[in-house]
A and B are shown apart, each in its own frame.
Chain A
Amino acid sequence: EPEVTQTPSHQVTQMGQEVILRCVPISNHLYFYWYRQILGQKVEFLVSFYNNEISEKSEIFDDQFSVERPDGSNFTLKIRSTKLEDSAMYFCASSRTGILSSTDTQYFGPGTRLTVL
């Protein structure tokens, strides 16, 4: 069964460093999302992406964040200058049509645990 993959599974970085989190969505999916979950807190929406541009972003997704689909398969989240409070699990998700229904949903990747020291 196709699945969303994410690399790395765990990233440790120093405060102020740039990190790039990578995702490979399911191959025929067109809508891509990033969510994050700070330890012990709820899963929060960061950004949605369709047709090579951001469709929607949350208040969390400030100028330090950017997303890109550099080729036909990868979808990346870049944090330009990491802060301690960026430590969280980051989940990538994809859906085929973007219309949630009985025939489509968002499939989540396994996540990248980001630790900022």
Chain B
Amino acid sequence: QKEVEQNSGPLSVPEGAIASLNCTYSDRVSQSFFWYRQYSGKSPELIMSIYSNGDKEDGRFTAQLNKASQYVSLLIRDSQPSDSATYLCAVERGATNKLIFGTGTLLAVQP
């Protein structure tokens, strides 16, 4: 079982729609969860972090965490073509809080 699993996509949504990205993780001990956006050839850019069960909203982004189901999601409202990128789910692990990444979901927002 992979430590962090994501659907690789591509996920295609029309401009203005809600994009829903999902992630599951295997280690119940993990406490911190992150969504990074990565444009092709660029470094990961943190867009959301979440540490407790429930929803966390920041602008057009909402992260959802369900520790019982070991599930993290990211909703992007009013999707824009500039949101087209690969979205990486990451989970902190271990004493040094290293990040374990999923393979990422490619999001394509169609104008």
Which A positions have Cβ atoms within 8 angstroms of B?
A: 31, 33, 35, 41-45, 48, 50, 55-56, 89, 91, 93, 95, 98-102, 105-111, 113
Contact = CB atoms under 8 A, between A and B. Distances in A.
A91 B90 CA distance: 15
B44 interface: yes
Given A42-B88, A110-B43, A111-B43, 19 more contacts: A42-B103, A43-B44, A43-B88, A44-B101, A45-B98, A48-B96, A56-B94, A56-B95, A56-B96, A89-B43, A93-B99, A98-B97, A99-B97, A100-B34, A101-B32, A102-B51, A105-B34, A108-B45, A110-B42
B97 to A, nearest CB: 5
Nearest to A107: B46
Interface of B: 32, 34, 41-46, 49, 51, 88, 90, 92, 94-104
